[in-house]
Structure 1
């Protein structure tokens, strides 16, 4: 599929105390795991980061936030501006178990919508979601208005909130698992260990 994977790696990782994208599971950094998974369904991968040196080893194109200090919405703006494709999959850099199958389904949903965002157990996941390049206009308006909540931006475009029962496969909780604190990283290591034993 002609699509771009945009990995947001611009956060400060304050709660983790170290760069969470570079933490390792089974010898691979989280960001390497993410890149390997989305490579299955995209034709281009872009890293959005304000520290190029950290991710040089990936040999992937990098772009920095055009507006600093505005959180994930600014990262989405930078990624969409750089993307060569109409369809884009946004991924936060702290999601070690993302699923290409889920990403592909979200990208296909863009045939009819401008954005496709999974919702699980009442929680919206806009940082593993699909966005058409044209939504950058709404992103720019939200940034101009200082409305930095992605939820607000989603109300400005034709968004499909995809509920659990709408996926044509079993949506595993791990697909959308993200880590902000040390105990969540430790839990991810246990999850991976259990998965390997199966």
Structure 2
């Protein structure tokens, strides 16, 4: 089965205070950590202004509207099959997490998305089938940028509960990276 890895890295890092993608946690940048966690995928895409060996880089077609734009770009450039989609600021989505998600891929749905402890979808820790692209493009055109809402209303999806919550730790501040090193 063909799996494309896609890391969206086009945010402004306003709360962080500097470029999150290039911030070092230990000896690796957050971008390198995300890339390493997805290294087993057949095709590897970065949506944003960064380059890594072995990864193709594409711009975010609509910067500033949120991750839906990066997802549309990833699905447009994916050769076929499924896209494992994440943000650069979710370093605990490790290879074990993606392997677990892989076991839940289902040809009858367009999205496999985990639920966090509040019961909300973690749309930046999900698998999207390329068949979801027209629905996501339509949402962008209609200026509906909320990825969770598009999944709920327009895409055939399967939610996963019981996923260990530490995977969804999002890096928004420098303190969040200290917690990663200490934890």
**Shared fold (TM-score greater than 0.5)?**
yes
CA offset digits 1:35-73 (Å, max 9, x no partner): 111112x11110000x2xxx2344521001222322110
> Structure 2: which 5+ residue stretches go unaligned?
none
Write out aligned runs for 1:138-153 (5 A).
138-153=135-150
Displacement of 1:186? 1.9
Give 4+ residue runs of structure 1 displaced > 3 Å after superposition. none
TM-score normalised by length of structure 2: 0.91
Query: How far has the Cα of 1:137 moved from its partner?
Result: 0.6
Preserved contact between residue 4 and residue 89 of structure 1 (Cα < 8 Å): yes
Larger radius of gyration: 1
Matched, 1:113 2:109: yes
Tell me the matched-pair count.
180
Q: Per residue, is there more helix in 1 or in 2?
A: 1
RMSD value over aligned CA atoms? 1.5
Taking structure 1 as reference, are residues 38 and 57 closer, same or farther at Cα in structure 2, changes over 3 Å only?
A: closer
Does the CA-based 8 Å contact 2:5-2:38 persist in structure 1?
Answer: yes
Q: Displacement, 1:121?
A: 0.8
Gaps of 5+ in 1: 165-170, 192-198
TM-score (norm 1): 0.85
Distance 1:59 1:102, change over 3 A: closer
Q: Tell me: CA distance 1:59–1:38, structure 2 relative to 1, closer, same or farther (3 Å).
A: closer
